[in-house]
Every structure is written in C-alpha cells, then in structure tokens.
Amino acid sequence: MTKRVVVTGIGIISAIGKNTDESMQHFRSATSGIGAITHMDTVHKNNLPVAEVKYSNEELLSLLNISNHKSNYTRTSILGMYAAKQALESAGIHSVKEKKTGLISANSVGGMDKSEVFYAQFLANPSKGKISNIVGHDCGDSTEHIADYLGIKEQVTTLSTACSSSANAIMLGSRLIQHGLLDRVIVGGTDSLTKFTVNGFNTLMIFDKEACRPFDATRNGLNLGEGAGYIVLESEKSAAESEKKIRGFLSGFANANDAYHQTASSPDGNGAYLAMSQALAMSNLQPTQIDYINVHGTATQNNDLSEGIAMKRIFGETVPRFSSTKSFTGHTLGAAGGIEAVFSIMALEQQIIYPNLRFKTPIPELQLIPETELIEGAGIKHILSNSFGFGGNNSTLIFSAA
C-alpha cells in the first residue's frame, strides 16, 4: 500500500458478548454463543440453534441511554449503533467534527426484523400494521441512524454484498483514507437475526441442527448469528496528530468474483484464491509471512472445502495456523467481516489464536487441521481474514501488528 492505513479503534457486539473483554472471556473459556432461539417467534424455535445477542432491543437501548418509548429503531440499527459507538470511544474520538470523519456501514437484511412485525399485522388486517414499523426497512436506514447517533455528516454510505459486505466496507474506507478524502472512517457492518433469513437459509438446507463444526469432515451446515463489528481507520498522519495508540495496520485487501454460481463456491476456489493472492500482493507479504488465518469457515460442505482448496493453492503444504470464529458467533452475515476484523485486531494485540470449536476429523480431501485450543503468546505479526458472500463475492483483508 502506498500510504499506510492504521486501526485506532474497535467495537463489537455478538452472541459472545457486548464488548471486546466479554468476547475474549468466551474465547478463553471456549464458551460458544450458539444456542436455542429465544427472541424470535418462529416455527423453528426449538429445532434450530442460532447465535443470538443475549440482550433485547429494550435492554440495548437502555445501555445506550436512549429512551425506548420514543424510538422505533430496528434491531439492525441498535446493534450497529452499539458497536460503532464503542469503536469511536475506543479510538478516543470525542468529537467527530474536528476532522473529516466518515461512516461506511454494511448490512444484508436491513430493517427486516420490524418489517416482519408490520407484515404479520397488515396481512391479518390491511387496516392494521404500524407504518412506523416499515420505515426502517431499507438497508440504508441503519446507516443513517448510526450516523445521526454519532453525529457523522461527511461521507455516509451503505454497502450490501451479502456475507462479504463488512469486509468490502473496510476496503472502501481504507481507499477513502489512502486517497485523502477522509481523515478517519468508521467501517464495518451490522445484521440482526430475522425470520426472513432463518426461513430463507432453511430452504437452502444449509443449517446444522446442532452447533456448527467448521472444517470438520462431518460438518453439516452453518448456524446463523447476529451482531455488529466496526473498526476505526485513520491515516497515519491523523493518528500521529492526536497521538493515538495504533492498534494495528490494514496492510492489504482484495475482492474478486468467483463467477461460478449464485450461491455455491467453485470447486477449485478460484474467487477465494484471487482475493487472497491479490491481498497478499498489495501487502507486499509472502505467503510464509502470514501467521494466522481467520477463515470464512461457515461449516457448510461447500464453503469449507472450496476455501481449504484455495488455501492450499496459495500456501502449499504449509498452511498457516487457522480457525473459524463462527464456531463461537455463528454466521453473522453482513456483519461477519466487521466482527472478524475486530477479532483480528484483538488477536494481534493480545497475541492470541482462537480455537476452532468442535473440530475432530479433517476433511479427507484437504487434511487441514485448524487450531482447536487457544494459543497464548502466539507470535503473530500478520493475520489474513476471509469473508465470502453469495453472488461469488470474495474478500480478503490482511491486518498487521502495530
């Protein structure tokens, strides 16, 4: 990269906690956030495990000091506001006005959680249904709420490319910094669990009825999750001016299209291969310099095999240590890239590699074995993080230690 882009803040909420400390406790105690559905009223309530954020909308609003009787925020918005605010605070930014500050937020389901409430009422009786429940339907709504809540007025953009959305938001934010259009930018994404996605993924028959087993020979599908993850990117100059603590560098990124199928990854992992190799080229790193891969690792038959093949094409027989944190958080769709970017920075700062839960047997075609125990003092300088989405949309980010 020509100009280095630094990470100065991180914020997260997921099924394993509402901040970085709680998340780390879950990793240390190998406690997954995957369990029975409690918040949603759905026919799948008792037979599909999910990774829910353990707080209701009301509880989250109260944690944010927003009086809930006045608001009709969607859960997607609330989760996003919660994590983005945390990221801003962790970067020590008290006023977003003193420098050019932007927000690029990603999501895939928009305000579907509230639209569903409206639809049920409306279908039962067309004169019923609170119109205030659908004003938040658009994917852009949560971004506007987060921007308003944080007072951000410069560049505010919503990006939606399925499960790689957040990673692509991070890429765009990085370019805006590199090209001098912004001094700092909050980037990442948010998505909430909805009946819409639970029912939809169910038709694709890619749910495991138990907690998922990424990269295991017996893997049988994913578990959906929800949450939000944001990082604050700044130019090196901006960070130096305010004597910021540099948490890490975004040293490379790339996105490529697999051009194979609407939902399935290609058998030779072409899109993933292109994304990883182009990100490595941008970072000027050799494959041997990557110390840990936070894999996309959804635990579907198709993803893990295709991603593993692409990893072998790049790294040969010496694939770096790797794990899928989706075994803790479930697959948080549009938020996944943001959440896993936060995990990457935490890993670099605390020199920890996360365990890949419930792995027993390697996939026969790959013979790749993820890390199954938490590793302390991991000696990691460079982390590669993958996020792949439907539509063949494959992204890779590379984070480097400060």
Partner 1 sequence: MTTRITSYCRITNRFIYVNNALLHSNEDLAFADFAKQAYKLATLNYLKFFKMDNLSKLGLLAAEFTLAGKNWQERYTPDEVALCFSNASSSIDSDRKHQESIGNRSNYFPSPSVFVYTLPNILAGEICIRNGFKGENSFFIFEQFDAENMVNIVQQLFINEQCKACVMGWINYDSEQADALCCLIEKSDNEKELPFTAENYSYLYFNTKPQ
Partner 2 sequence: MSQLANELKTEIIKALNLEGVSPEDIENDAPLFGEGLGLDSIDALELIVLLDKNYGIKIDSAADGKAVFHSISSMVAYIESKK
Catalytic residue, chosen from 26, 39, 331, 382, is 331
β-pairing, 393-400 vs 382-389, is antiparallel
Tokens standing for residue 22: 């709680």
Phi and psi based region of residue 383 (left: phi greater than 0; alpha: psi -120 to 50; beta: remaining):
beta
The answer to whether 394 touches 249, Cβ cutoff 8 Å, is: no
Residues between 190 and 209 that touch partner 2 (CB under 8 A): 203-205
Per-residue x/- mask for partner 2, residues 264 to 293, rule CB under 8 A?
A: x-----------------------------
Q: In whole angstroms, how close is the CB of 383 to partner 2 at the nearest point?
A: 32
Nearer to partner 1, 246 or 264 (CB): 264
Element (H, E) at 61: helix 57-63
SS3 (DSSP) at 284: coil
Per-residue x/- mask for partner 2, residues 72 to 111, rule CB under 8 A?
A: ----------------------------------------
Quick one: which of 86, 236, 234, 231 has its CA closest to 170? Answer: 231
**Residue 12 half-sphere exposure toward CB, CA atoms < 13 A:** 24
Q: In whole angstroms, how close is the CB of 97 to partner 1 at the nearest point?
A: 21
Q: Pick from 65, 67, 95, 262: which binds partner 2 (CB under 8 A)? A: 262
Judged by beta carbon distances under 5 to 8 A according to partner kind, the member of partner 1, partner 2, none in contact with residue 390 is partner 1
Residues in touch with partner 1 (CB under 8 A):
43, 108, 110, 112, 115-116, 119-120, 123, 138-140, 155, 157-162, 168, 172, 175-176, 179, 181, 195-196, 199-205, 254-263, 270-271, 274, 278, 389-393
Helices marked H in 180-289 — which ranges?
Answer: 195-203, 236-241, 270-283
Strand partners, 181: none
261 scored as a contact of partner 2 (CB under 8 A):
yes
Q: Please provide residue 115's backbone torsions phi and psi, each rounded to the nearest 5 degrees.
A: -60, -35
127 scored as a contact of partner 2 (CB under 8 A):
no
The answer to whether 51 touches 325, Cβ cutoff 8 Å, is: no
Nearer to partner 2, 385 or 393 (CB): 393
Phi and psi based region of residue 248 (left: phi greater than 0; alpha: psi -120 to 50; beta: remaining):
left
Nearer to partner 1, 23 or 255 (CB): 255
Question: Which residues in 84-96 are b (16+ Cβ under 10 Å) and which e?
Answer: bbbbbebbebeeb
Annotated active-site residue 139? The verdict is no
Catalytic residue, chosen from 26, 39, 145, 296, is 296
Judged by beta carbon distances under 5 to 8 A according to partner kind, the member of partner 2, partner 1, none in contact with residue 307 is none
Annotated active-site residue 163? The verdict is yes
Cα 372 from Cα 221, distance rounded (Å): 19
Catalytic residue, chosen from 26, 137, 163, 212, is 163
366 scored as a contact of partner 2 (CB under 8 A):
no
CB atoms within 10 A of CB 216: 19
Nearer to partner 2, 179 or 261 (CB): 261
Cα 352 from Cα 375, distance rounded (Å): 5
Nearer to partner 2, 122 or 260 (CB): 260
Strand partners, 187: 104, 231
Judged by beta carbon distances under 5 to 8 A according to partner kind, the member of partner 2, partner 1, none in contact with residue 199 is partner 1
Nearer to partner 2, 123 or 204 (CB): 204
The answer to whether 347 touches 341, Cβ cutoff 8 Å, is: no
Q: Please provide residue 392's backbone torsions phi and psi, each rounded to the nearest 5 degrees.
A: 70, 20
Annotated active-site residue 212? The verdict is no
Q: In whole angstroms, how close is the CB of 160 to partner 1 at the nearest point?
A: 5
Q: Please provide residue 31's backbone torsions phi and psi, each rounded to the nearest 5 degrees.
A: -100, 115
Q: In whole angstroms, how close is the CB of 150 to partner 1 at the nearest point?
A: 19
Nearer to partner 2, 68 or 301 (CB): 301
Judged by beta carbon distances under 5 to 8 A according to partner kind, the member of partner 2, partner 1, none in contact with residue 264 is partner 2
Tokens standing for residue 341: 């970017």
**Span of 108-116, 127-135, 165-173, 259-267 interacting with partner 2 by CB under 8 A:** 259-267
**Binding residues for partner 2, per CB under 8 A?**
203-205, 261-264
Catalytic residue set: 163, 296, 331
